[in-house]
Amino acid sequence: PYAMASSLVEYGAHPSPVPIGFWRSVGHSYNAFVVESFIDEIANSLGLDPYQYRRFLLVNNPRYLAVVDAAATLGNWSASLPSGHARGIAIAEAFGTVVAEVVEISNATATSLRIVNVACAVDCGRAINPDSVKAQMEGGIVHGISAALWGKVTFANGVASVKNFNQYRLLRMREMPQISVQILPSTNPPTGAGEPGVPPIGPALANAYFTLAGRRIRTLPFFPTAGTMSGG
């Protein structure tokens, strides 16, 4: 969606030695992570505010601009933060729906971080059931957090090291951030709501983490050694 003078998009196959299946948001997840992390890197290299830089690049795309503005307002982007806190922002389109998310994090270390809150703005066309849209955004955010921070399964001799969820690191209830969702009004036909909440959360977290910890995450998950647990 960004107003670039030129662009090049390429596709590369990545054969897997084990059977794979599609997961929530399919290729939108890692593609959004790459693009939105890189947009942030450009903004930082230019000394520009990442949100304002996105606004500059979205000047000819009113739909995206409205969504990113709504998320920034909902997430209090311009408000001051306590020491040891940082915000990150990302926007992505999946299945015809545009979602922008602003995250606030704290306590960033080499192996963990705390997510304080997530602000989510979504344009999914006409929202037939707003409560359902809100629930799908919340569920997508939780799914995306778990995947981005810890989502890793290793294999030995073709056998997965993880047998059940008691061995797989997921977001715990005590770690749950405050989530706010704003559905932008629209008279356009409905688009998707089940998957588009996932793609922006990973890059938004990575961008906040860079601001706070000074380290750019380019490989997922963030904390691979915390990806499995020995007990329930």
Nearest CA among 104, 231, 105 for reference residue 169? 231
Q: Is the pLDDT higher at 178 or at 166?
A: 178
Structure tokens at 47: 């000394």
With a cut of 90, say whether residue 80 has pLDDT above it. yes
Q: Is the pLDDT higher at 118 or at 232?
A: 118
Task: Tell me the pTM.
Answer: 0.95
Question: CA geometry: angle at 31 spanning 30 and 33, to 5°?
Answer: 60
Q: What is the pLDDT of residue 223?
A: 95
Question: 138 burial class (0-12, 13-18, 19+ CB within 10 angstroms)?
Answer: middle
With a cut of 90, say whether residue 155 has pLDDT above it. no
Q: What is the pLDDT of residue 231?
A: 37
Find the mean pLDDT for residues 19-44: 93
Residue-wise burial string across 64-78, b where 16 or more C-beta atoms lie within 10 A, e elsewhere: bbbbbbbbbebbebe
Nearest CA among 205, 189, 184 for reference residue 67? 184
- Report the helix count and the strand count for the chain, using DSSP H and E: 5, 6
Find the mean pLDDT for residues 67-76: 98
Nearest CA among 110, 103, 69 for reference residue 85? 103
Distance CA 180, CA 199 (A): 17
List residues bridging with 106 in a β-sheet.
85, 114
Q: What is the pLDDT of residue 227?
A: 63
Fill in the DSSP letter of residue 14. Answer: -
The separation between the first and the last C-alpha atoms of the chain, rounded to the nearest angstrom, is: 43
Compute how many other C-beta atoms are within 10 angstroms of the C-beta atom of residue 156: 7
With a cut of 60, say whether residue 228 has pLDDT above it. no
* Helix (H/G/I), strand (E/B), else coil: 176: coil
Q: What is the pLDDT of residue 230?
A: 42
